[in-house]
Amino acid sequence: MIRIIIMGIVLAVGVSALDTDGLFIKKTIVSPESAWVFSTVEENDQYLGKKFSTALAKKIKRMKRFDTVQFDSSVFQPVYEAIHATSTANADLLVTALESHVLDDVEAMLMSNAYQKRRVRAIQQRRGVGFAQTKGKSNAYTMEEMQILMNSVYVYIPYIRSADTVKVEGENPVTVRTITGGMLWYNVQMSPTGSVALVPVQEIERTSFMALPSSMAIEPLMDAGIMRALLSKTIKATKSMPMFTLVSKTISVSGRDYTLSLTKDSGAKLDDLFFLQEDMESDGGGIERKTVGLLRITQSSREDWAHGYQHIGSARDRGGYVIESPRRGFQLGAGVYYAGDIQSSRILSYLDNDQTLMLPFDTALGWQASLDYNVGRHIGVSQLFVGVDYSRADLQSNSGASTQGDNRIEAYHTRLSKKFWWQRHAVRLDVGTGTERVQASDAVRLRNYKLKIRSMKYGIGYEFMLSPRWLFSATATQHRMFRLSQLSYTLDGTAYHFSNSDARQLGIQYNRGYMSYQCGIRIDF
Amino acid sequence: MKKTTCTTLIALLLSFGVYASGPVSKQATLIDSTSSSEVLLEVTGIYKSDERSKGKKRKDIKKNGVKKALDDSRKAAVYFLLLSGTDPILTQDSEKLAFKAIEDSFFDINTILGFISYEDGVPKTKVLTDGETGIRVVQQVKVNKEALILDLEKRGVLIEKDDLLDQIGNPFIMVLPSVSDDKNPLDLIKKDANLGHAAAVIQSLLTARQYDVVLPDQQQFLNDLVDGQLSLKDIPTDMAYQMALSVGSDIYIDFELSESDAGYGTKRMAVRVRAFETTTARLLGSETGYSEARSGDDMVSIEEAMLSALDNVLARVTTYWKKDIYKGLQYKVIVSIDGGFSPNNLEQVQDSVVDSMSAVSLKTKEQIVTDQTLDYVLWVDPNDYPTSRQVWRKIRSEFRDLTRMGEIALANQNRKLLILRITP
């Protein structure tokens, strides 16, 4: 394993040096149909291998930055038979099996005219304007291009190392399911004299888990969720490998808008993030590449160059580099939550058309958490997020009246947000819908008060990019009730329970609500 | 007085502003000759901000650095072609001196842009230097070298090519592959497509540059036609003329092709090109050229290698011709002295013919002297004696004036080769 890592580091540097000017060149990926499931994985979990490899193959095939090739299943079958035939299979055995059964087919593919013709555009994209390209109109591969072509095929083997289920007993038993898996990457290298070798490049291993109450823990469903997360982590790590990371040059700049020598065909997508880098002479006279900014793809098309907007750093002129910062599209946030002028308490003021005591709470203070996902990049709308918010705040009285017990307001919302950026600053518009629960256990004559309402919310927020991953966020949101789900309380010893349909009798005024203010930190990953 | 001083000062300051300076960088590499008139260069441009504070320098570099460094790189490209490399355009001291007088105004960026036929516009590399107060870029530019030369000719820095060719006698050039003695080059060109293509490339470039080119197969046809016509008229065959015809042209360009394997099934073509004066055997230029290693497209590789060699060869030929204007055109004179002279008389005859040759030339070089043969190279001012015939007439009249001991006659005159015969 250590040998693989060391060789991987050395060869990843060496192989990436083959790329012309260090810029991204599309690689060919040979995608297998099955996975190596370790012998330690139980029999009834063996299906995870096929599930993982199929999902990986499908995802990699969809990624524009790769040229994907799938051989006939009979090519890889002997490899899997060899490694599954023994309980002591290891990476060396895998390499031997790949060299024996797969390498010849890869070599035949490399030497075929059809493959070389298909790869012309990717390999020759950065040709100059010498005689051969202009008057000569030559598409013939030069030696340097042949070297790149013959060393740009990668093979991966997905694997599942372990799949464990642990039940945590107690008052609320919880089932924790953990799956560990990854990919072993190999590079097919051909020397100028034609000899072919398979060289280990990198191993990516990730673990995902899910914890659910045991009553809800259905293993296949948990596996589906865990595998999705495992796939996402593995793909993100794959994108971070030097030979697969998108690296490009900035070819023109207007203010903070950059044109990059990347197209959608190379895998650059809307809202992808890139670090802006420039070469600088160090004190010792060497050249160092330093990060000077962050930009986000704002426009990407198949035929035209991608455009990006620079958020962090001062504007630079053309000729610099951009290197991808792969993200999964999620933002996780947390912070302080404050609600003011809570009017849900007025519901009780219309009981039996008589005014009753109101809850002595006007405000609430607590915390909030959110998880957002950028859906906009899939549908061509930049910075459009779908998110879920959870907030929990302790109800507070501004009148000074004493309160006892557990008095709180909880809210669960799903939200759609759109951000509008200017440099590091963004204005965010939110709209959402969800459920709010108000609970007061002991408030003067009122006991066991529970209110559940459906509400919608809309708000405006401000975000500031503290760093490429961290953002400061502050929002003001108006919550509006639109339906009562449940109300129950004990007043002067008498218990009351109202459902949705009873709301009319209460004379509840809908479209009332409260203002909430959130302030916190978000991390982009 | 004060007004006059101010006006003078303003005029002086303006004059400094009008003239741009040469490049800071002067670094360039020749990549490729992309056509008969254009060359592709990889050039470095450097710009260092001259603002006062470090902050302002950095700001200046961010805003203007790339543009100014690219401007410097364009100047460096032109500078390289003019004055650097193995075959600069300005070779003679007089040319360099003439250029010096116009250097500042010549390197105005608008003038330079007139010679740039293509550039990427995006630097291939960009490095910030000196704590981001300077910048160095590398880019590829295509320069129209022929336009540059024409411009310098118009400015009087270079002698015009037509004038040069006129002064050295409007030489004809023939292109043939280099062959061993038992092979016919014309047959080889017909049979070997690569050789035929290489010859065509050279002829294409020569005609593009308006040189007088003689096609070997057409020349052969003409020779046969003339011979046939003469024999129809019963005019006896002139063997001397036949021998002279076999020379073909004033200048030969011969070439050799070879290929080598370069790995991954690619081939690299190499060419060797030589230009020499046929009747004096003087080598005017020799260069090798290489193509990119490539799989297939042999014709493209041949032309690529040929263009890279040919430009240098023709540049050296031109340099020799320019030198000839000052040093004199070279003639090869072979004097054959018949037997029948006494030793004393022989010496006197030899001295007379040597003195005659000295009288007609700026310089002479004695190659071989025997009792029967003198082999000399003469450098003759073309302004005094524009043709070989006039050289011969001068030698004859001088010899007759110097001695009566022998009769001098012209055995054969072929371009710059004079074969003389002295009889008792």
Query: Residue A348: its pLDDT value, please?
Result: 55
Q: How far is CA A79 from the centre of its chain?
A: 32
Looking at the domain that runs over A330-524, which CATH code has it been given? 2.40.160.20
> Is the pLDDT score of A292 beyond 90?
yes
Q: What's the number of CA atoms in the CB half-sphere (13 Å) around residue B387?
A: 5
Give the whole-angstrom CA distance, residue A290 versus residue A320: 10
**pLDDT tens for each residue of chain B, 424 residues long:** 666 665 555 555 444 443 346 899 999 999 989 988 999 999 999 999 999 999 999 999 999 999 999 999 999 999 999 999 889 999 989 999 999 999 989 999 999 999 999 998 889 999 999 999 999 999 999 999 999 999 999 999 998 888 888 888 778 888 888 887 777 888 888 888 999 999 999 999 999 988 888 887 777 777 777 777 777 776 666 666 666 666 677 888 989 999 999 988 899 999 999 998 887 888 999 999 999 999 889 999 999 999 989 989 998 998 888 888 888 888 999 999 888 888 888 888 999 999 999 999 999 999 888 888 899 999 998 888 888 899 999 999 999 998 888 889 998 888 888 999 998 8
pLDDT digits (tens, 9 = 90+) for A374-391: 999 899 999 999 999 999
Among A42-51, A353-362, A377-386, B108-117, name the one with the lowest average pLDDT. Answer: A353-362
Chain B: nearest CA to A472, how far in angstroms?
29
Domain B329-423 sits in CATH at 3.30.300
Categorize the per-residue pLDDT at A402 as very low, low, confident or very high, splitting at 50, 70 and 90. Answer: low
Are the beta carbons of B263 and A278 separated by less than 8 Å? Answer: no
Q: Are strands B172-177 and B251-263 parallel, antiparallel or unpaired?
A: parallel
Q: Grade residue A511 by pLDDT with cuts at 50, 70 and 90.
A: low
pLDDT above 80: residue A139: yes
pLDDT at A17 over 50: no
Tens-place pLDDT, residues B69-103: 999 999 999 999 999 988 999 998 999 999 999 99
- The predicted structure's pLDDT at residue B247: 67
> What pLDDT score does B188 carry?
84
How far does Cα B322 stand from its chain's mean position? Answer: 9
The pLDDT score that the predictor gives to residue A505 is 64
| Residue pair B191/B149 in contact by the 8 Å Cβ criterion | no
The values of phi and psi at residue A84, to 5°, are -85, -10
Kindly report the backbone phi and psi dihedral angles of residue B128, in degrees, each rounded to the nearest multiple of 5, phi listed first.
Answer: -85, 135
**Architecture of domain B167-324 in this structure:** 2-Layer Sandwich (3.30)
Rounded alpha-carbon distances, angstroms, from residue A515 to A204, A336, A415, A478: 47, 14, 16, 5
Q: Name chain A contacts of B297, Cβ cutoff 8 Å.
A: 132, 136, 138-140
pLDDT at position A14 is 38
Non-local (6+) Cβ contacts of A415 within 8 A are A370, A372, A385, A386, A387, A388, A389, A430, A431, A432, A457
Angular region, B349: left φ>0, alpha ψ -120 to 50, beta rest: alpha
Q: Which helix (H) or strand (E) holds A161?
A: strand A153-168
Query: Scanning every residue of chain B, which has its alpha carbon at the shortest distance from the alpha carbon of A133?
Result: B34
Segment (H or E) for A412: strand A408-422
pLDDT of residue A451: 83
What topology is assigned to A256-324 in CATH? Answer: Thrombin, subunit H (2.40.10)
Domain ranges of chain B: 19-154, 167-324, 329-423
Buried b (16+ CB within 10 A) or exposed e, A289-309: eeebbbbbbbbbeeeebbbbb
Element (H, E) at A190: strand A174-190
| Global confidence as pTM | 0.82
A318 and B66: CB-CB below 8 Å? yes
Question: What pLDDT digit, counting tens, does each position of A157-181 carry?
Answer: 999 999 999 999 888 899 999 999 9
Query: Does the beta-carbon distance from B32 to A131 stay under 8 Å?
Result: yes
pLDDT at A475 over 50: yes
**Nearest-by-CA chain A residue for B67:** A317
With CB atoms and an 8 Å threshold, state whether A280 touches B122: no
Minimal CA separation from A133 to chain B, in Å: 9
Chain-wide mean pLDDT for chain A?
A: 86
Q: Is B56 on the interface with A (CB under 8 A)?
A: no
Mean pLDDT of the region A26-51: 91
Residue B170 CA to its chain's centroid (Å): 14
**What type of residue is B138?**
V
Identify the DSSP state of A32: P
What pLDDT was estimated at residue B235? 67
Q: Is the pLDDT of residue A499 over 80?
A: no
pLDDT at residue A299 is higher than 70:
yes
Half-sphere exposure of B250 (CA within 13 A, CB side): 19
Q: Where do the CATH 2.40.160.20 domains begin and end in chain A?
A: 330-524
First-to-last CA distance in chain A?
28
List CB contacts (< 8 A) between B33 and chain A: 131
Interface touch A316/B264, C-beta < 8 Å = no
E strand residue ranges, A255-383: 257-260, 273-281, 287-299, 306-312, 321-324, 330-340, 363-374
* Side chain identity at residue A17, one-letter code: A
pLDDT at B237: 64
% of chain A exceeding 90 in pLDDT: 56
Task: Please name the member of B62, B66, B263 whose beta carbon is closest to the beta carbon of A143.
Answer: B263
CB A184 within 8 A of CB A150: no
Cβ-Cβ contacts under 8 Å, B125 against chain A: 21, 279, 319
For the segment A57-76, what is each residue's pLDDT rounded down to a tens digit?
999 999 989 999 988 888 99
Place of tokens 């308006």: B210
Q: What angle do CA A481, A482, A484 make, to 5 degrees?
A: 85
Cβ within 8 Å, pair A280-B142: no
Q: Is residue A353 scored above 90 in pLDDT?
A: no
Cβ atoms of A497 and A451 closer than 8 Å: no
ipTM of the complex as predicted: 0.80
Residue-level pLDDT at B17: 40
Q: Is B241 helix (H, G, I), strand (E, B) or coil?
A: helix
Question: Above 80 in pLDDT, residue A2?
Answer: no
Identify from A116, A126, A317 which residue to disrupt to test chain B contact, counting B C-beta atoms within 10 A and taking the largest count: A317
Query: Are A143 and B264 a contacting pair at CB < 8 A?
Result: yes
Question: Which has the higher per-residue pLDDT, B259 or A90?
Answer: B259
Residues of chain A with Cβ-Cβ distance to B67 below 8 Å are: 317
pLDDT band per the 50, 70, 90 thresholds, residue A435: very high
Res A15 pLDDT > 80: no
**Touching A: B residues 89-128, CB under 8 Å:** 118, 120-128
The DSSP output letter for A391 is E
Across the range A384-409, mean pLDDT stands at 81
Q: Which amino acid is at B235?
A: I
Specify the domain boundaries for CATH 2.40.10 within chain A.
256-324
Task: Count CB-CB contacts under 10 A for residue B366.
Answer: 11
Q: How many residues does chain B have?
A: 424
Per the structure block, which two tokens stand in for B359?
Answer: 């009288």
pLDDT mean over A127-147: 87
Q: List all residues 6 or more positions away from B140 whose beta carbon is below 8 Å from its beta carbon.
A: A128, A129, B31, B40, B41, B42, B43, B119, B120, B124
For B137, the closest chain A residue by CA position comes to: A319
Query: Which pLDDT value is given to residue B281?
Result: 81
Q: How confident is the model at residue A18 (pLDDT cuts 50, 70, 90)?
A: very low
Tell the residue number behind the tokens 């005591």, with chain if given: A357
Residue A89 contacts residue A36 (beta carbons within 8 Å) = yes
Question: Measured between beta carbons, which residues in chain B are less than 8 angstroms from residue A142?
Answer: 266, 292-294
Section A226-237 average pLDDT: 94
Q: Are strands A257-260 and B251-263 parallel, antiparallel or unpaired?
A: unpaired
Give B302's contacts in chain A (Cβ within 8 Å): none
Question: Chain A residues contacting B, CB < 8 Å?
Answer: 21, 128-132, 134-136, 138-143, 146-147, 150, 190, 192-194, 249-252, 261, 278-281, 287, 314-320
pLDDT band at A509 (very low <50, low <70, confident <90, very high): low
- Under an 8 A CB cutoff, do B304 and A136 touch? yes
Which two structure tokens, joined as six digits, stand for A213? 């109450």
pLDDT band of residue A19 (cuts 50, 70, 90) is: very low
Q: What is the pLDDT of residue B6?
A: 54
Tokens of A221: 């469903």
